[in-house]
Structure 1
Amino acid sequence: MKKITLLAATVVASTMLFACGSKETSMSDSKDSLNLKLWVDPGSAEFYSKLVDQYKEENNIKYTIEVVESDTGKAQENIKKDPEAAADVFSMPHDQLGQLVEAGVVYENTKYADRISEENTELAVQAATYKGKMYGYPYGVESLMLYYDKTKLTENDIQTFETLTAKAKFGGNFEEDGAAYFLAPLFVSNDCYLYGEDGEDPSGTTFNTEQGVNVLKWIAAQGKNDNVVQANADLLSQLEEGKIAAVVSGPWGYKNIKEILGDRFAVAQYPKTNFGNGEKQMKPFLGVKLYSVNASTAHPLEAMALANFLSSTEAQKKTFNDLGTIPSNLSLQHSKEVLADPMASVVVTTSLPENSVLMPKIPEMVTFWPASLATISDAYKGNLSESDMKSKLDQLVKDTSVVAK
């Protein structure tokens, strides 16, 4: 009787384990129809097709992995539109992660979180994590940086914003769409928080403090600074015509700016500045490029393994060499190849927590962009008096603590 009872218990336990088994086990066992789709950045399909072929060969994989170029900047829109038809693995900017997780369309990284945490930078790991769980597989970092004409500005000149603009004209976007991407991190540079210390607290923004008011005053002062020029769509033409000697742009601007400046080209991290309460390092937003797995994938084990490979040290090295994507991998960031690249070395330095602000990834950021742009633009154009700045920032903090309907 004891043996029968034990056998029955074993059968029941096994049945329960099978019934409650994870999607990772049950669905990945269906090999007959197994194939994966991978969405990659525009212009990178040829490179990734070769990388995927290498992955398949090294792991004796026989199933199809289809590589498709997609507008990764619209990943959250494209995935949410039809998750069943979307790619199993897709590239995305990390700031969309919160929206995707809240929509239930991203599969948690249940197998490779330790490897990613050990091998990547602190902020890259934070970018791949949302509400304490890891969903992403980081493979690159990017930020704005300072490009300048070294015949008009020396390395000493660009140490502070004040010495830079005393010597030559600076061009940046202070009043048009996109200005908040450049200027909002300056509030964090001056000891304010954007959505709390970890960027995930909707009620944690502190732009309406004395330090925040000082930043808004600083922005207003640039509107009266003869050596600060509004430049956005015309930034490259103004640089080419010699109207400005320094600009901010990201890795995407490197090729054109270097072509314009030629031998006069130089690049550096942001300077320091005094917002009115002591000298601070000006910080840009840091963006992290992630791979993520679609929650609707029929084959999560294989999808996670592919995302893990694409974010590995080996893959990041190839991606840097062939596409110029600056790695998030710690060892690669300190490699001779990366540090020998002027732009990459600047981004590596900028990606340190003391030099940049990880762009928040919570859904409330959708509300933040237009509201912060209005406040920044009004200050720069002289449409906001100093006496009204505190109340304006109070309203900004309130308005951006919720997701726009």
Structure 2
Amino acid sequence: MKKRVGLGVVTICAALLLTGCGGGETSGSQSGSTDVNLKVWVDPGSGEFYKDVVNDYKEANNIDYTIEVIESDTGKAQEYVKKDPDAAADVFSMPHDQLGQLVDAGVIYENTKYADEVTENNTEQAVNGATYQDKLYGYPYGVESMMLYYDKSKLTEEDVKTYEGMVAREKIGLNFEENGADYFAVPFFVSNGSKLYGEDGEDPAGTTFNDAKGVNVLKWIAAQGENPNVVQANADLMSQLENGSIAALVSGPWGKENVEEILGDNMGIATYPTNDFGDGTVQMKAFLGVKLYSVNANTKHPLEAMELANYLSSQEAQKRAYDEKDTTPSNTELQQSDAVINDPLASTVVKMADPELSVLMPKIPEMVSFWPGALSVISDGYKGKIPEDQIEDKLTQLVEDTATTQD
């Protein structure tokens, strides 16, 4: 409660600051502050790129205060920021699914100044990823999704449109057993009509994986363990592709370089196929991730921090990140540009980001307790360790266990 009150006080202070600055039109460079200095945490390997972006930002806006760019394990942003908010960066990159934990901890600053701009310029899914409990906190700058890679010398575009058609012809490498199987397979329950934390992903009691359609999905997963053309693959995914054991696999944008090195011109990239889990043909879905910049609630310079976060997620910065870092933009106009449309990888990510093909990863803190239970059920189901008459009970236990946050 103290943390929530603290965040409210910070937000009120920000509103007063904005009022005093003429509705928030004053830039950080004109604020009159002589002691401003900011830190920004960026993804590993992107430090030099963002130093150039920040330098151009400072030059364009006549900013003479220090903005320090630091590479950080942004996948652990919620852990680092919550541990010591005062020592954390003023602006930090993060995956959107950590948003609920940070809001509940009172360490993330509501986007009080640029909400309209962010909403207008980015896709609806990206804006949803930056929003929690009907308030916009983040500044989206990219989207990520898994997709299908395949060997065009063995499979055609027509083959990979349906799961059944693909596995009838060639072997596919999928992870149903090891770490990451939950991330891969959980969206299939939603594909078939079950709910993950309700309609909007924010209802702790809204998971329905134990309904009839969810039961059929786990039965289908069990059947894949018996399918000779489904090869369990995870860390050995690329070696399996290289030695010809598989002709298709599922990975994210991060897998493209390795796949292309193995397949060369025979590399095909496609959206997920359709499938019948037992209730009729549906579109298989993947999780959608939104890359965000966010502002630390403990920043001493909220106006300047928000301005910086907004710039780092602007169309200009997103275009540079796409051109130089292959980050698929969340900006609507950039997604419709010829460069993205004609890029096999980026255009596939954009297609996968459509709600018809992906599930926005829930942001509520309960997701922390969801992963271990989901992995166990999926892995045991695939390995045939759950008798068919116990499937519904296992899924009911999963639903009950993951309705609360567990320490």
Instruction: Name the TM-score, length of structure 1 as normaliser.
Output: 0.93
The equivalent residue for 1:132 is 134
Q: Distance in 1 between matches of 2:208 and 2:54?
A: 45
The equivalent residue for 1:87 is 89
| CA distance 1:24–1:31, shift in 2 (3 Å) | farther
The equivalent residue for 2:369 is 367
CA contact (8 A) 1:44 1:69 kept: yes
CA contact (8 A) 1:139 1:310 kept: yes
* Correspondent of 1:213 among 212, 215, 221: 215
The equivalent residue for 2:308 is 306
The equivalent residue for 1:294 is 296
The equivalent residue for 1:354 is 356
CA-atom RMSD in angstroms: 1.3
The equivalent residue for 1:275 is 277
The residue identity in structure 2 corresponding to 1:389 is: I
Q: Distance in 2 between matches of 1:209 and 1:193?
A: 9
Q: CA deviation at 1:91?
A: 0.2
Q: CA deviation at 1:132?
A: 0.7
Q: CA deviation at 1:154?
A: 0.4
* Correspondent of 2:385 among 383, 387, 400: 383
Q: Distance in 1 between matches of 2:14 and 2:49?
A: 34
The equivalent residue for 2:260 is 258
**SS state of the match for residue 346, structure 1?**
helix
The equivalent residue for 1:180 is 182
**SS state of the match for residue 106, structure 1?**
coil
The equivalent residue for 2:50 is 48
Instruction: Note if 1:202 corresponds to 2:204.
Output: yes
Instruction: Name the TM-score, length of structure 2 as normaliser.
Output: 0.93
| CA distance 1:21–1:283, shift in 2 (3 Å) | closer
Q: Distance in 2 between matches of 1:378 and 1:271?
A: 24
CA contact (8 A) 1:144 1:248 kept: yes
Q: CA deviation at 1:339?
A: 1.1
Provide structure 1 residue ranges, at least 5 long, that are not aligned to the other structure. 1-19
Q: Distance in 1 between matches of 2:269 and 2:302?
A: 42
CA contact (8 A) 1:119 1:330 kept: yes
Q: Distance in 2 between matches of 1:372 and 1:118?
A: 36
CA contact (8 A) 1:194 1:206 kept: yes
The equivalent residue for 2:73 is 71
Q: CA deviation at 1:24?
A: 6.2
The residue identity in structure 1 corresponding to 2:373 is: A
Aligned residue pairs, count = 386
Q: Distance in 1 between matches of 2:336 and 2:387?
A: 47
Percent identity reads 65
Q: Distance in 1 between matches of 2:304 and 2:195?
A: 39
| CA distance 1:23–1:31, shift in 2 (3 Å) | farther
Deviates more, 1:388-397 or 1:25-34: 25-34
Q: Distance in 1 between matches of 2:51 and 2:342?
A: 28
The residue identity in structure 1 corresponding to 2:308 is: L
Q: Distance in 1 between matches of 2:153 and 2:311?
A: 44
Q: Distance in 1 between matches of 2:393 and 2:60?
A: 61
The equivalent residue for 1:403 is 405
Kindly provide the CA deviation profile for residues 185-214 of structure 1, in whole angstroms up to 9, marking residues without a partner as x.
Answer: 000000111000000000000101100001
The residue identity in structure 2 corresponding to 1:330 is: T
The equivalent residue for 1:337 is 339
Provide structure 2 residue ranges, at least 5 long, that are not aligned to the other structure. 1-11, 22-27
Q: Distance in 2 between matches of 1:298 and 1:31?
A: 11
Q: Distance in 1 between matches of 2:113 and 2:193?
A: 36
Larger radius of gyration: 1
* Correspondent of 1:242 among 237, 241, 244: 244
Instruction: Note if 1:322 corresponds to 2:314.
Output: no
CA contact (8 A) 1:24 1:301 kept: no
The equivalent residue for 2:7 is none
The residue identity in structure 2 corresponding to 1:164 is: M
Q: CA deviation at 1:32?
A: 2.9
